[in-house]
Amino acid sequence: MAETIDNGKRQFLKELGAGAALLAAMPWLKACSPEKTEAASQARGQARVALIGCGSRGQYHLTMLRDIAHARVVALCDPYEVNLRAAAAMVPDAKLFSDYRSLLEDRSIDGVIIATPLGSHARITLDALEAGKHVFCEKAMALTLDECKAVYEAYQRSPKALYYCMQRMYDPKYIEGIRKIREGLIGEVVGMRCHWFRNADWRRPVPDPSLERQINWRLYKEHSAGLMTELACHQLEICNWAADKIPVEVAGLGDIVYWKDGREVYDSVSLTYRYSDGRKITYESLISNKYNAMEDQILGKKGTADLTRGVYYLEEDDTVSGMKQLLAQMRDKTFGAIPAAGPSWRPELRNSYTPHPLIKGPQSVNGGQSMVSADHDGSDLILSAFCTSCITGEKVENVVEEAYCATVLCLLGNLAMDTKTVVTFPEEYKIPYMKF
């Protein structure tokens, strides 16, 4: 059991043929190399890590850490006693703290994992880097544009590793999907279409009304930027990865359509991000209907990759015979009438396309209802890579930059919706990494 994640990692990198080309294109995977993990743990045993924020996601990280042989959780911190106790039950030997600043004074801790509400990410990250800790922070990077810039600049000056839990960068179906897209699988990329639909209010039970804002932090603007930073953040990052550039402007509309329960953040958003060449990301999220689930579609002239499901579809599919398609449509009663005498078996309907897998073997697909328990979505691998960095001291390439780009785009999306204007990417928040 103790080596599950790293054995899985070895297998995953082997199947992807993790040679120099893959590592050059996706350099953040370098810290993931099984040889590096093994060498690091042989040289110095285990990374001594602490968890700051012991709620739902923090406890999920603890379950992952149990399976990372080169990690040892030595401290836990949470001002909310209920969650601190629940986490302590999972790691009985850990030292307990209610104030993260006291935890940061403990010189025996190599790195901290921050899983607190968004509003505190920047402050804790800055303090932890300053205290000489390696940092793994949950996405998004920060609640405001200025905080993002401050963290980015502090990271440039710091010798310490900083990771953001942008787990799609470590998810085999995304890695392989982007690689195949770059090799021309779906032709020229002409647009992106992403959405995330849930049917849940995002509320947590509150034992005392005075704890409402603390526990239901996602609903209030002092702690959260709502659907954009909670959900869209992951998806916008993928679009930029596929486009290999950053949008120049964004327009959108946001509303509270259904959950009129005192929350301040939108429960329904629709946005369009435009790249300088005219390609667009169409983004939509709604949390009062889950029919459409979660999809990250990269649209190409010759086909479409749905990276969430790990499949691609071809516009002209020579791999599937027309007769086979016709029989499948008759069996599935796809259409009221089959256009058997027409020029094609394929009317312009989405479910007439045949899915092809992006990776070999079984893959885990998440419908998007909860990312906390998502299986093998890359969260385990990125956490393992962080623990390797805690041992080797090596910084990870591109993860901070990708988190910065995605977070800034989320915040600009909110600005566009709040002001009902088209927002152009501001000069002062551009960084050298960005290509427009």
When the beta carbons of 138 and 306 are compared against ligand NAD, the nearer one is 138
Each residue 56-95 as x (binds ligand NAD by CB under 6 A) or -, in order, gives xxx------------------xxxx--x------------
For the chain, what is the radius of gyration of the CA atoms?
A: 22
One residue of 230, 237, 306, 402 binding ligand NAD per CB under 6 A:
230
Give the binding range for ligand NAD (CB under 6 A) out of 35-43, 117-125, 287-295, 302-310. Answer: 117-125
Give yes or no for residue 203 binding ligand NAD (CB under 6 A): no
Which residues make beta-bridge pairs with 114? 52, 137
Q: At what angle do helices 4-15 and 379-392 cross, to 10 degrees?
A: 100
- Give CA–CA dist 185/303, Å, rounded: 8
Q: Work out whether the CA dihedral 13, 386, 242, 272 comes out positive or negative.
A: positive
CB of 55 or CB of 191, closer to ligand NAD: 55
Sign of torsion over alpha carbons 214, 218, 219, 224: positive
Does 226 bind ligand NAD (CB under 6 A)? Our answer is: no
The 3-state DSSP class for residue 363 equals: coil
Nearer to ligand NAD, 186 or 215 (CB): 215
# binding residues, ligand NAD (CB under 6 A): 26
Stretch that binds ligand NAD, among 31-39, 52-60, 181-189, 394-402 (CB under 6 A): 52-60
Q: Does position 118 bind ligand NAD by CB under 6 A?
A: yes
- Decide: is 371 part of the binding site for ligand NAD (CB under 6 A): yes
Q: Is 372 in the site for ligand NAD (CB under 6 A)?
A: yes
Q: Hey, which residues does 285 pair with through a beta bridge? A: 196, 269
Burial 148-185 (b: 16+ CB within 10 A, else e): bbbbbebbeebebbbbbbbbbbbbbbbbbbbbebeeeb
> Of the ranges 112-120, 174-182, 342-350, 380-388, which one interacts with ligand NAD (CB under 6 A)?
112-120
Please answer whether residues 189 and 298 qualify as being in contact, where contact means their C-beta atoms are separated by less than 8 angstroms: yes
With binding defined as CB under 6 A, does residue 54 bind ligand NAD?
yes
Draw the binding track, 315-344, toward ligand NAD (x: CB under 6 A; -: no contact).
------------------------------
| Nearest residue (CB) to ligand NAD, 54 versus 175 | 54
Contact yes or no for 382/170 (Cβ under 8 A): yes
- CA–CA separation, 149 vs 352, rounded Å? 46
- Residues interacting with ligand NAD, by CB under 6 A? 52-58, 77-80, 83, 100, 115-118, 120, 138-139, 165, 167, 217, 230, 371-372
